[in-house]
Amino acid sequence: MLGSTGSIGRSTLAVLRRQREHFRVVALTANRNVDEFDAQVAEWRPLYAGLAGGEAGSAHPCGPRVLLEAATHPEVDVVVNAVVGAAGLEATLAALRAGKRVALANKETLVMAGELVAQAACAGGGELVPVDSEHSAVLQCVAGRNAGLARLILTCSGGPFREWPAERVHRATVDEALRHPTWQMGSKITVDSATLANKALELIEAHHLFGLSYDALEVVVHPQSVVHAFVEFCDGSVIAQVGFPTMELPILYALTHPARLPDAGVRRFDPVAAGPLTFEPVRADVFRALGAGVAAGRAGGISPAVFNAANEVAVAAFLDGQVPFGRISQIVEQVLDDHVPAPAATLAAVREADRWARGRARHHASRT
Ligand code: NDP
């Protein structure tokens, strides 16, 4: 597992603790969180343990190469990629080329380089299975009937600022942005959920995973986070997947798909306890990162990688107190306005677009 010390990493280990008879942890990686990582290594005794951000002289192998070594370890069958951000890309490509199943939480991978990921899977025989709850929901609803697929509607909690007036959203604090109403997640994706950049990343991810055009991909706000996605087939029939919000269910399904394992640890669904389920449109004029990301997805080529990199830098600047919340989507829009669309035919082209967009985003952030 890559990113074992994060929110998805911990949830994955919680699932594996209940499923010890079916799975073995072969490799673990983290970035810098040494204390938690050492405790995980002591518990799971993996064959390989590396710290991507570790210092020379540490007890574990160090540097970005640890992601590649763990992802291609010969004893590994399934790679859970729970790294946050662009750092996860090369490991996904390497694992797919090595014929592994990649249980992908690191959606940035598909956003940056969807075509390269598909080519890597094709070349190496690897398989990509989503961990994101909305995409897991779609996979479960589709159940192999891709031919009749007509439209996907991904749900979105709306984040902590769903009902706030636009000027209050602009001035939202870090504490307010990190208070997600329904999901406990790492800080980057929690801010992405507040700006709705996360839904743009998810639409681009869905485009690559399920092969639908952007005209067939929609988002609806659903504050209870009980329905995870709707799938419409060509005859108009719609199937939805429901469950109380927990990442443990989609994580286990990504490991076992298309089979299923009993899991006594997951809270059973109870429609009465779920209460009324409501749906409303997205306020696209307030949460502009969604539209910016979808436009980048439609443009294709390097544009989604530019969107992703600008967003990562803008979110980090917000979390560091350098820019107000409302500047995140503005910085992303400015960088997209600055960029010249180009094909993303090679990893080098994607990495160059990523590097360029980070520089432009830092420039715009510094002028706030
Ligand atoms: P966290 O921030 O909680 O965890 C990130 C993990 O990645 C940590 O283990 C961290 O190590 C590691 N990491 C960070 N930077 C690097 C790097 N440069 N190289 C190697 N490893 C690194 O994030 P989440 O678990 O919330 O999210 C992980 C991914 O899953 C994201 O792409 C997110 O969008 C996606 N996702 C998350 C969901 C959730 O519920 N949390 C739901 C759906 C998708 P360390 O702790 O040592 O810093």
Domains of the chain by start residue, with CATH: 7-130 (3.40.50.720), 135-244+267-359 (1.10.1740.10)
- Supply the pLDDT for residue 55: 86
Distance, CA 195 to ligand 1 centroid (Å)? Answer: 18
Residue length of the chain: 368
The finding on whether 149 has its CB within 6 A of some atom of ligand 1 is no
In this predicted structure, the answer to whether residue 275 has a pLDDT above a threshold of 90 is yes
Distance, CA 7 to ligand 1 centroid (Å)? Answer: 7
In this predicted structure, the answer to whether residue 9 has a pLDDT above a threshold of 90 is yes
Task: Name the pLDDT band for 145 (thresholds 50, 70, 90).
Answer: confident
Distance, CA 207 to ligand 1 centroid (Å)? Answer: 22
Q: Which residues, 6 or more positions from 28, have their beta carbon under 8 angstroms from its beta carbon?
A: 1, 4, 37, 40, 41, 44, 46, 48, 49, 50, 70
Distance, CA 87 to ligand 1 centroid (Å)? Answer: 10
The finding on whether 28 has its CB within 6 A of some atom of ligand 1 is no
Q: Which residues, in sequence order, are bridge partners of residue 102?
A: 79, 128
* Across 25-49, average pLDDT: 97
In this predicted structure, the answer to whether residue 260 has a pLDDT above a threshold of 90 is yes
In this predicted structure, the answer to whether residue 56 has a pLDDT above a threshold of 90 is no
Ligand 1 atom with minimal separation from the 190 CA: 26
Task: Name the pLDDT band for 127 (thresholds 50, 70, 90).
Answer: very high
Q: Indicate the burial class of 18 (C-beta count within 10 angstroms; 0-12, 13-18, 19 or more).
A: middle
- Supply the pLDDT for residue 57: 84
CB distance 112 to 87 below 8 Å = no
Relative to beta strand 227-233, strand 149-156 is antiparallel
Task: Name the pLDDT band for 354 (thresholds 50, 70, 90).
Answer: very high
Task: Name the pLDDT band for 139 (thresholds 50, 70, 90).
Answer: very high
Across the chain, the runs of DSSP E, i.e. the strands, are 27-30, 48-51, 78-81, 101-104, 127-130, 149-156, 217-221, 227-233, 238-242
In the predicted model, what is the mean pLDDT of the chain?
A: 97
In this predicted structure, the answer to whether residue 221 has a pLDDT above a threshold of 90 is yes
In this predicted structure, the answer to whether residue 144 has a pLDDT above a threshold of 90 is no
Task: Name the pLDDT band for 58 (thresholds 50, 70, 90).
Answer: confident
Ligand 1 atom with minimal separation from the 198 CA: 34
Query: Letter for the amino acid at 239?
Result: I
Phi, psi of 27 (to 5 degrees): -145, 140
The radius of gyration of the chain from alpha carbons, rounded to an integer in Å, stands at 20
